C-alpha cells in the first residue's frame, strides 16, 4: 500500500515561509530582520496560490522563499546583532540603576557591533562578484546618496555624520565624472536634474534634487531608508576606490570645485635678513653650509620633478598623423583621448556664470565637457581676480542686460543642456536673453516609445504613410461608387431588352471580397492555434500598442504645431 502523504508538507507550503516564522527561525527582532534582508538583497515573494502557501488561510501574510531564510542562518551579521542586543540590555540596566560611570565605561570599552560598526564588505563582494554588476546597480545607490546629501540634520531622525558622509561620497563621484569627462545626457525636470554617463559599457543615470529648504515628512520610516543608505555608502565606497585607483588617482582625494587638488610640500618663508643673521627659524640654526645643502637638494628635486613630468607627458601624448606629401589633401582625423563628442564640446570656451544662474548645475556640466568657468558670485569673495578678457560666453537668466561686450556670446542656461544632449553646439541666436526658448524634452524618450530627438524626415515619412492610407480609403469609396453606376447601367439595358450574363461577374466579386493577403491568412492561422489565455494576452497587447501609437501621434502633432507657431 502506498504511503499516505501528510497535508502541508509539499508544494507551495514547503517552498514559502511567512515573516513571523522566519523571525522565530532566526531568533532576531523584526527591525534586525528587515536590516538583514536589505543588506543581503532578500525581498518578499508572491506565491501563485496564497491560500495553499498559507495552509488554507486567507489572512494577509508576507511570504519569503524558504531557501532564502536558510541562507540567512549562516550570516555572520547575526552574531553582531545578538551582541548588540546584549550590550543594550547592560547599558539600560546601568542607566536605570543610576550607575552613569559604569554606563560610560561600558560604552567606551564596547567590542560588540554597534550601529554602523559592523562591516558590510563581505556582503558587497557576495552580491556583486564582478565590477560591471556593481556599476549596473549604481542608479538607486546614487539617487539615495544625493537625496540624503540635500536633507537637513535632525536630532531624532538623521544624524549630521550621515549627511556629511553622503555629501563627501557624492562630491567624489561628481569629481571623477568631471575629471574623466563622462557626462552624456542631462535633463532638467520638476523633481531635479537627471544626469547620465557611461562607464565600462554600463549606462548610469542618477537624479540630483534642487537645493531648496526641505520639510521633513512625518509619514516616512527613516530607519529603513538609513539601512539602505548604510549599504549603498559601502557599495559606492568600493566603486569609487576601484575607479580612482584604476585611473591613477589617489583615494580618498582632496576636492575643490569638482577638481582634484594635489598636495604640495609646505615651504617655510624665511627672510634674507634672517638668513644673513643666522637666526633660529622653527628651532633650527641655519649656517651657510646647511643653506647650500638645502638649496642643492631643492634644485635636484626640481630637476627630478621636471624629468618625471616630461616622461608622463611623453607617455600620455597621442600620436599625430601628418601628411608628408607636397600636394596635401584632406586633413587627417587625429586620435582623441575621449570616446564621446560631449567630452570636448566646451574645450576652447570660458564661461562667465551670472549670479542668478544655479552654479552647482552649470559649473559641473561645463567642467565635465572640458570648459572653464568664472563665477560672478565668487569674484567678491576672492582676492585674486581672474582675467575676464578670456571670457567667450556669458550665461545669464535675465530678460534684459544693461551692458554687453562685443566679443562675448550671451546665452541662457538651456543652451548648455541642449548642446550636451545633441552632442554639438547649438545656434546661440535661439537662446539669447529674453528670447522664447525651444522645448526642453527628455533625451531618453518617453515610456510610450516617443523619441523627441527624431528628425523631421521621419515625421514626414509618417505623414506620407497617413496620406497613403487616406488615399487608399478614398479609392475604395470610388470603386463602390463605380459599382453603383455599373448596376444602374445594367438596369437601363434590361429595360431596353438587352440582357447580360452576370453569374460570372457575381462570382468574381465574391472571390475578391473573400480573398486575403498571405500575411493576413498567416495571422488568422496563428490566432486559431492559440489557446484562450494566449488570445486574451494578444488582444491586450494589441490594445496597449494602439494606445501608445495614438499618444505618439498626438505628441507629434503638438510638436508640429509648436514649430509652425515659431516659424
Cα gap 566→430, rounded to integer Å: 11
Cβ within 8 Å of residue 310, ≥6 positions away: none
In three state form, how does the secondary structure of 506-535 look? HHHHHHHHHCCCHHHHHHHHHHHHCCHHHH
- Supply the pLDDT for residue 113: 42
- Mind listing the domains of the chain with CATH numbers? 12-75 (no CATH), 121-260 (no CATH), 341-431 (3.40.50.10190), 456-495+520-566 (no CATH)
pLDDT in tens, the chain (567 residues): 567 777 767 777 788 999 999 999 999 999 999 999 999 999 999 888 888 888 888 888 999 999 999 999 999 989 888 888 888 888 899 999 998 888 888 887 765 444 446 888 999 999 999 999 999 999 999 999 999 999 887 767 788 889 999 999 999 999 999 999 999 999 999 999 999 999 998 999 999 999 888 888 888 888 899 999 999 999 999 999 999 999 988 888 888 767 776 654 444 444 445 444 444 444 444 455 555 655 666 666 667 666 666 655 555 555 555 556 555 555 555 556 777 888 888 988 999 998 889 889 999 999 999 999 988 877 777 777 777 888 899 999 888 777 788 888 999 999 999 999 998 999 999 999 888 888 888 888 766 667 666 665 555 555 555 555 555 455 545 455 566 677 777 777 777 666 555 556 566 666 666 666 777 888 888 888 889 888 899 999 999 889 888 888 888 888 888 888 876
How far is Cα 188 from Cα 195, in angstroms, rounded to an integer? 9
pLDDT of residue 493: 74
Q: Look at residue 521 in the predicted model and tell me its pLDDT.
A: 81
pLDDT given for residue 268 in this prediction: 42
pLDDT of residue 368: 92
**pLDDT single digits (tens) 42-55:** 999 988 888 888 88
Q: Give 439's contacts (C-beta < 8 A, 6+ positions apart).
A: 452, 559, 562
C-alpha cell at 450: 516617443
Q: What local confidence, expressed as pLDDT, does residue 556 receive? A: 84
CA atoms within 13 A on the CB side of 130: 5
Cross-strand pairs, 65:
16
pLDDT digits (tens, 9 = 90+) for 194-241: 999 999 989 999 999 998 888 888 888 888 999 999 999 999 999 999
Phi/psi region, residue 192 (left: phi>0; alpha: psi -120 to 50; beta: rest), is left
* CB neighbour list of residue 95: distance below 8 Å, 6 or more residues apart: 103
Q: What is the pTM of this model?
A: 0.72
How high is the pLDDT of residue 50?
84
Residue 473 C-alpha cell reads as 480609403
DSSP E strand stretches across 189-260: 192-199, 202-209, 255-256, 259-260
Supply the pLDDT for residue 341.
84
Amino acid at each position: 500500500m502506498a504511503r499516505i502523504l501528510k497535508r502541508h508538507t509539499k508544494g507551495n507550503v514547503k517552498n514559502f515561509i511567512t515573516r513571523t516564522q522566519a523571525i522565530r527561525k532566526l531568533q532576531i527582532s523584526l527591525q534586525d530582520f528587515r536590516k538583514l534582508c536589505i543588506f543581503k538583497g532578500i525581498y518578499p515573494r508572491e506565491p501563485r496560490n496564497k491560500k495553499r502557501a498559507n495552509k488554507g488561510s486567507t489572512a494577509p501574510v508576507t511570504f519569503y522563499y524558504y531557501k532564502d531564510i536558510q541562507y540567512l542562518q549562516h550570516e555572520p551579521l547575526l552574531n553582531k546583532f545578538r551582541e548588540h542586543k546584549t550590550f543594550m540590555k547592560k547599558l539600560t540596566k546601568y542607566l536605570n540603576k543610576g550607575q552613569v560611570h559604569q554606563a560610560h565605561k561600558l560604552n567606551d570599552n564596547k567590542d560588540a557591533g554597534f550601529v554602523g560598526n559592523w562591516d558590510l564588505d563581505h556582503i558587497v563582494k557576495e552580491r556583486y562578484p564582478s565590477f560591471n554588476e556593481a556599476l549596473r546597480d549604481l542608479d538607486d545607490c546614487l539617487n539615495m546618496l544625493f537625496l540624503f546629501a540635500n536633507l537637513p540634520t535632525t536630532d531624532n531622525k538623521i544624524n549630521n555624520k550621515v549627511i556629511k558622509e553622503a555629501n563627501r561620497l557624492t562630491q567624489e563621484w561628481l569629481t571623477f565624472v568631471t575629471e574623466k569627462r563622462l557626462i552624456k545626457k542631462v535633463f532638467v525636470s520638476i523633481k531635479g536634474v537627471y544626469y547620465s554617463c557611461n562607464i565600462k559599457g554600463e549606462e548610469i543615470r542618477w537624479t540630483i534634487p534642487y537645493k531648496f529648504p526641505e520639510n521633513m515628512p512625518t509619514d516616512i520610516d527613516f530607519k529603513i531608508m538609513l539601512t539602505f543608505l548604510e549599504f549603498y555608502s559601502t557599495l559606492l565606497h568600493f566603486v569609487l576606490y576601484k575607479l580612482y585607483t584604476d585611473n591613477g588617482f589617489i583615494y580618498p582625494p582632496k576636492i575643490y570645485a569638482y577638481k582634484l587638488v594635489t598636495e604640495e610640500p609646505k615651504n617655510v618663508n624665511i627672510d634674507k635678513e634672517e638668513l644673513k643673521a643666522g637666526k633660529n627659524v622653527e628651532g633650527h640654526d641655519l649656517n651657510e653650509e646647511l643653506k647650500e645643502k638645502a638649496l642643492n637638494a631643492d634644485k635636484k628635486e626640481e630637476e627630478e620633478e621636471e624629468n618625471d613630468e616630461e616622461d608622463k607627458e611623453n607617455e600620455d601624448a597621442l600620436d599625430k598623423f601628418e601628411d608628408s606629401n607636397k600636394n596635401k589633401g584632406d586633413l587627417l582625423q587625429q586620435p582623441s583621448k575621449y570616446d564621446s563628442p560631449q567630452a570636448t564640446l566646451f574645450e576652447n570656451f570660458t564661461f562667465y556664470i551670472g549670479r542668478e544662474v544655479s552654479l552647482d548645475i552649470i559649473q559641473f556640466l561645463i567642467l565635465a565637457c572640458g570648459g572653464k568657468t568664472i563665477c560672478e558670485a565668487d569674484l567678491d569673495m576672492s582676492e585674486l581676480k581672474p582675467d575676464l578678457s578670456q571670457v567667450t560666453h556669458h550665461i545669464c537668466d535675465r530678460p534684459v542686460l544693461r551692458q554687453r561686450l562685443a566679443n562675448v556670446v550671451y546665452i541662457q542656461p538651456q543652451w548648455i543642456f541642449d548642446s550636451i544632449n545633441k552632442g554639438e553646439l547649438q545656434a546661440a541666436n535661439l537662446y539669447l536673453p529674453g528670447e522664447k526658448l525651444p522645448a526642453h524634452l527628455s533625451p531618453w524618450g518617453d515610456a510610450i516609445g516617443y523619441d523627441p530627438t527624431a528628425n523631421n524626415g521621419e515625421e514626414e515619412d509618417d505623414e506620407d504613410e497617413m496620406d497613403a492610407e487616406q488615399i487608399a480609403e478614398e479609392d475604395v469609396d470610388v470603386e463602390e461608387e463605380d459599382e453603383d453606376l455599373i448596376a444602374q447601367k445594367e438596369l437601363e439595358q434590361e429595360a431596353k431588352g438587352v440582357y447580360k450574363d452576370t453569374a460570372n461577374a457575381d462570382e468574381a466579386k465574391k472571390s475578391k471580397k473573400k480573398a486575403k493577403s498571405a500575411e493576413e491568412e498567416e495571422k488568422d492561422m496563428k490566432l486559431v492555434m492559440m489557446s484562450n489565455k494566449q488570445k486574451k494576452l494578444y488582444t491586450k497587447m494589441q490594445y496597449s500598442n494602439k494606445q501608445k501609437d495614438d499618444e505618439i501621434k498626438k505628441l507629434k502633432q503638438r510638436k508640429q504645431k509648436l514649430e509652425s507657431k515659431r516659424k
